[in-house]
Chains A and B, each alone.
Chain A
Amino acid sequence: MRVFILSILTCIFATVHAQEESRVSVNYQNTHLETILTDLSQRFEMNFYYRSAWIDTSKQNFSANAQTLPEILDQILLGKNLTYTIIDGSVYLTKGIKINLNPPLSRLYAQEKETEEAEIGLVFRQEFLNTQTAESDLENFVFEVGDRNQFVQGANSTLAGYVNNKADSTPLEGVVVFTGSGQNLVTTDENGFYSLSLRNGKNRVNIQLLGKKSTVRNLVMYSDGQLNIEMDDQIVALQEVTINAFREENVESNQMGISKIDAVSTKNVPVVLGERDIMKIAVTTSGVQTVGEGAAGFNVRGGKTDQNLVLINKIPIYNTSHFFGFFSVFNTDAISDLTLHKSVIPVNYDSRLSSVFELTSKKSSEEEFSVYGGLSPVSSKITAEIPLKKVKGKLLASGRGTYSDWVLNRVPEVTIRENDIDFYDLLIQYDQKINAHRSLSATYYGSIDKFNIPSDSLFNLSNFRYTNTGASIIYSDQSNQRLYFTSHLIYSNYGYDLSYDQSARLAFNQSFGVSETAANAEFNYFHSPDLEIMAGLDAKYYLLNPGEKTPLGEESVISRVQLNDERGLESALYLSANWQPSDKWSFYAGIRYSAFSQLGPVKEYVFDTNAPQIAGSITDTLSYGGGIIRNYHGPEPRFTFRYKLDDESSIKGGLARNRQYLHTLSNSVSVSPTDIWRLSSRYLEPQISDQVTLGYYRNLKDDIFEISVEGYFKRLQNLVDFKVGEEFILNPLVETSVLQGPGRSYGVELSVEKSGKLNGWINYTYARSFIQLTGDFQDEIINEGEFFPSNYDRPHTLNLVANYKFTRRISASLNVNYSSGRPVTFPVSAYEINGVQFVHYSDRNAFRIPDYFRVDIGVNLEMGHRLTKLVRNYWSFSIYNLLGRDNPYSVFFDINKGQVRGYQLVVFGSAIPTLSWNFVIK
């Protein structure tokens, strides 16, 4: 874990040149300590680093005559529990912790890790100076506790101290402080105080609290002494820095296929048109693919796009893209982090087959009001953190909008000017502390995309609008130290409407909508540090409008079409245990029993089984009233294990079954905004996946490198596809168009992550994915009923994301993406029907479009590090697709003047430079 020390230190700038040996005379009367320090800083021309909160506001009198800095500091800090350390012309004030430049007993740790040993002082110093390059941290630092002279070999001493919330220094109650094996465990009281008896010598103390990042401290006990600990860094300080608590998890955790991305780390990655986008970064992790640049949706481990669950503060978001697929609907400024589960998904998440993208928004600071935002060629955005101290509340509001109208009107090209494309998104989060253990968090999220296209070739429509709206309330109760309770209530709605008004007689409105209302209750029981048990209950009600078309205006003769609403109730019970019987072994075992009830009223058609399932073969129509029509249910077992080979490497494996009751209907190659969702029904059976996965994990060079190799095999059932050319929009007999078939996918993911001055990741994925569509009739059979590559089967993918920090202000980054071209269906012969020429296509996906390759670079410049400065600026310049390569998104054919011509759609066929500006106001 890297802790960002600068973040908690105030910095007073002065000119350099160490002057600690020089002597000065001072005389302070009734002066604040802070003022004294400022004055000393100037007199000695040295930088002072300390945390404002440590400096009391009492005034003091002090005078000195020709004394050195250490002499003065010794006196003024007397009795203040503050220690100073002078390193290279800078003064570091610490509270309760002594900075040890040369810990004599660090060899004790040498066997365990190749830690700093002689260099520890240097490393520690680096941390103070430049956290970005610090390759060590508090967790690896060895603290000395007590008086060395009182050291008694083999005796016990008492370690005591306070655990505070790092963000606001408030005491944390209920924090579990324990030594390695857990036999020695205490919890903090309401003041955050703990006391623990430890054997003298080397000790490793674990500190855990639900909702906070767990941490450890290595210490050497000499005698009774104090160690204060801070948990969870959420501070916006001089510089935001990645807080990577996850590096050890690569090896330690028994979870597999998990990627955590911190929003801050996305700041330096070059992106197209300056829209920083955490989702786009997630797509560069191994195992995640898209069908192409600008495509909405992603395919995780050979899964379909509807098999991903995207949550923001627990609210499911159905359409995660703005502007079709170019940007995600999340303003990364308001996001704290993203966790991606792509392997064995924990049982507490909803039923989706492939993955969970869980986004957590930032929480406002409790102390300081701040505003930050930015401008890019596409949008402007602003986020405000508003602490409401009086009511112990925190409010975060973040909005983003395009100003495309304004820009479009300045574009000389008429066609573009006529378009009107807008998107907006808004996130409001309110956190209320009820007491020390209970809290409530409420989130509203909304996004809108609007398109007004004068004449549109895509959909034959003039206006198109899609919206996501959602809200969540999360309650958490940690008043029982062993049994935590959380509960949430959620509402989410997604819908689109489109209209056509080019012709008054044919004008219409058309809409689709899906909403869900869900409740969850969950208990986490901490039996011991080695055993954690989770149990919960989910209930969710779906209401879906599969499609409605209404005439627009009085002249319109369009008939009203209203497909029957679909209703469903999805519920689940889950139970899981996280058990670590020994240092080597760790297990996660869980089961989710999910059930889906299709609710009436419903009209069902019965088809002649001896004829193709088409309108003409309906033999009976069944009408049901309200109530439960049909149930689908089944267990979803999940299991993973971890076996540690040594401290730096482990083997993990897992098994999982997932069930999914909600399906996207799409007859296009990638996610289209007009895709609709449908609930499981008589002719749309739940999708099921079974996955086996195995991996090897290794951290190198003190966790600077994290390496993992994971392999998986998945078997899928009931993947949804379509008969060629069929429509699903406003199709009252969609069952005559839908095909369902099994799929299989397998692959190997190789990933290396590096932290430090040069940081980033490189990963290579070999992944295959196949689907089979077969039946008794010709229109149900694709590719002779054999397995064929899915649209997103891209065997080789290589991603490189690298960032190099030159100084605190300047960094440069590089992205490299390579992937095999996706499968495509080519024409193989031609024919004429009624004098019109048509092409006959090959087997589906028998060919591939050219490979994709792209290089981006970016330079970031951060200005105004001074805390005293009101506005801090952050500029980034990037060039997307530096090589200007034509990467085809799709290939298509048409017959024109008796010739079949091939075309390719290239999204960004040239290098795109972008300059964007971001700011922070405090």
Chain B
Amino acid sequence: MKKRRSYIILLAIGLLALQLGCVKSFDFEEQEYERILVVSGTLTNEQVIQEVFIGYTFPISELGTGRSIQLLSGAEVWVEDSDNNRYDYVEQDGMYRSEIAFGGIQEESYSLHFIYEGKEYRSTAETLLFSPPIQDIYPIYSTQFNTIDNITEDGILIALDTEDPTGQANYFRFTWEEAWQINVPFPSLFGYEEENDSLFRRLDEVGVCFGFGESSDLIIGSSVGNDVNKLIELPLRFFSETDQQLRDRYAITVKQYAISANAFSYLSNLKKVNEGGGTFFDRQVGTVTGNMISVSDPSETVLGYFEVAGVSWRRKFFSLQDVDSRYSRPPYRFSCGDFDRVNTIVDSVSYFIGLGDIYRVIDVSDNNVSLIKAPCADCSVYATTEPPDYWN
């Protein structure tokens, strides 16, 4: 019997090894930085000051440092429509901005031009497509593979359906912004005034706050490939059972850009070569070029895409009750148990408060005072109590 057990263990080890392989960090020396021209910007149908970025790639080490943006300064930049109407752009705050507010017109095509040090660049002409309303945004109970921890997680996927009944817009890019309500488990009802060592009933509410987020990934989808000419179940956002967003109330605002097939193909190629690998079948990576051309030197690589797109948006609120019941309410992100709590008498409150910004007073009854770690009672320590203007 004993022998058999050891055999099973051996098998298991073998399969574990087989299964997981493992992904470890790899320290690579940063290679000599290659400085290449990049164009990024979207001309929308909204009547606004339109923007486009023209600049350079930056060293990898500067990612996330804020120093990264290197504008190509001193270029002559304009957008031209098919009737040769010209919209000039001027340099401002690290971007080129249109001199006047204008919006693209549906089915009109536009191209970006710029001249820098005598060299001329332009984009191919892109046609502005109408962006249909987003049909629905909804939660689905789903299982996702977490590539970072190599585990599968159950959770809620926020997905989207969209449809252009005219059949013109088939390719889309999306961005989202989110806001969620934070309810602390033990709202602090009392404040402490150090000057006269006294407790007072709070007037401000510090037990309800709001968290905010926005998309940082490229989200694209297409309605091509199904019978109903509809983009279905496009994943926008996934929440595992430890994510906080769905504890109480949540709102997501999705912006939809109707882009061209070429723009979609460019973005999807870009996404593919930038998506982490770590499989046996890693995709060949390399340079992805968009719709920018150097007229003076066609062999010059210009990265990026001048996008022309119709825009529409939709906001949706969810509560925990709206999602699949298999999803249980995520635990509060901070531990708020007995170890985090102190019960003392009024006279000793000054001692605990004096330890620093550690405790908050939850409640007072007679001479007994309950204190708890600050984030359990007062979310203003890590979030804002100001709701977004659309919150109701």
Task: Report A's interface with B, CB cutoff 8 A.
Answer: 273, 292, 294-296, 323-326, 377-378, 404, 407-408, 410-411, 413-416, 418-419, 454-458, 502-503, 505-506, 549, 551, 557-559, 561, 615-616, 667-674, 722, 724-726, 778-779, 782, 784, 791, 825-842, 844, 847, 886, 888-910, 912-915
Contact = CB atoms under 8 A, between A and B. Distances in A.
Query: Which of A294, A458, A892, A900 is most buried by chain B, counting CB atoms within 10 A of its CB?
Result: A892
A901 B274 contact: no
Interface of B: 8, 10-28, 31-36, 38, 40, 42, 53, 56-60, 62-65, 68-69, 140, 142-145, 147-148, 150-152, 173, 175, 216-218, 225-228, 230, 232-233, 261-262, 267-270, 272-289, 298-299, 301, 303-305, 307
B304 A831 contact: yes
- Chain B interface mostly: mixed
A409 to B, nearest CB: 10
B227 A558 contact: yes
A454 B298 CA distance: 47
A828 B31 contact: yes
A333 to B, nearest CB: 19
Contacts of B25: 901-904
A910 B22 CA distance: 10
A670 B280 contact: yes
B282 A411 contact: no
Nearest to B301: A778
Contact of A894 (B11, B150, B274): B274
Contacts of B280: 292, 294-296, 324-325, 670, 672, 889-890, 905
A904 B279 CA distance: 10
Contacts of A668: 281-284
B307 to A, nearest CB: 7
A726 B286 CA distance: 11
Given A408-B15, A416-B15, A829-B33, A834 B40 contact: yes
Contacts, number: 274
Contacts of B38: 831-833
Nearest to B161: A505
Given A892-B276, A904-B26, 17 more contacts: A377-B15, A616-B262, A668-B284, A670-B280, A724-B285, A831-B56, A831-B304, A833-B38, A833-B40, A834-B42, A837-B216, A840-B34, A886-B24, A891-B28, A902-B27, A904-B25, A905-B279
A674 B64 CA distance: 36
B279 A909 contact: no
Contacts of A505: 232-233
Query: Which of B64, B270, B276, B279 is most buried by chain A, counting CB atoms within 10 A of its CB?
Result: B279
B32 A890 contact: no
Query: Which of A292, A326, A557, A722 is most buried by chain B, counting CB atoms within 10 A of its CB?
Result: A557
B35 A829 contact: yes
B58 A725 contact: no
Given A455-B144, A506-B232, A826-B28, A558 B64 contact: no
A901 B142 CA distance: 28
Nearest to A791: B284
29 contacts: A273-B18, A378-B14, A410-B8, A455-B142, A557-B230, A559-B225, A668-B282, A669-B282, A670-B281, A725-B288, A825-B286, A829-B34, A829-B59, A830-B63, A831-B36, A834-B218, A835-B216, A838-B270, A840-B36, A840-B57, A841-B285, A889-B21, A890-B277, A896-B148, A900-B60, A903-B25, A905-B277, A905-B279, A908-B17
Nearest to B25: A903
Q: Which 3 pairs of residues, A with B, have the shortest CB-CB distance?
A: A898-B64, A725-B269, A672-B281
A554 B62 CA distance: 51
Contacts of B33: 828-829
Contact of A906 (B22, B28, B173, B283): B22
B228 A724 contact: no
Contact of A418 (B11, B152, B272): B152
Contacts of B26: 888, 891, 902-904
Given A557-B227, A725-B272, A912-B14, A779 B289 contact: yes
B273 A416 contact: no
B341 to A, nearest CB: 33
B23 A561 contact: no
Contacts of A778: 289, 298-299, 301
A830 B233 contact: no
B276 A411 contact: no
A777 to B, nearest CB: 9
Given A725-B288, A726-B269, A457 B218 contact: no
Contacts of A557: 226-228, 230, 232
Contact of A828 (B32, B65, B232, B262): B32
Contacts of A455: 142-145, 152
B378 to A, nearest CB: 27
A839 B14 contact: no
A895 B63 contact: yes
A627 to B, nearest CB: 33
Query: Which of B62, B64, B301 is most buried by chain A, counting CB atoms within 10 A of its CB?
Result: B64
A914 B270 contact: no
A829 B68 CA distance: 11
B11 A407 contact: yes
A365 to B, nearest CB: 32
B337 to A, nearest CB: 26
B262 to A, nearest CB: 8
B218 A836 contact: yes
A179 B145 CA distance: 71
Given A416-B16, A830-B57, A847-B31, A906 B23 contact: yes
A829 B58 contact: yes
Contacts of B23: 903-906
Contacts of A826: 28, 31
A902 B34 CA distance: 18
A419 B20 CA distance: 12
A838 B270 CA distance: 8
Contacts of B305: 833
A393 B286 CA distance: 58
A131 B330 CA distance: 70
A897 B64 CA distance: 7
A686 to B, nearest CB: 23
Given A834-B40, A900-B63, A908-B17, A458 B286 contact: no
B366 to A, nearest CB: 49
A839 B272 CA distance: 12
Contacts of A458: 279, 281
Contacts of B64: 897-899
B6 to A, nearest CB: 9
A836 B307 CA distance: 14
Nearest to A908: B17
B53 to A, nearest CB: 7
A173 B301 CA distance: 73
Contacts of B62: 830
B324 to A, nearest CB: 14
Given A378-B14, A837-B63, A905-B23, A831 B57 contact: yes
Contacts of A909: 21-22, 24
A549 B53 CA distance: 40
Contacts of A906: 21-24
A293 B144 CA distance: 27
A326 B18 contact: yes
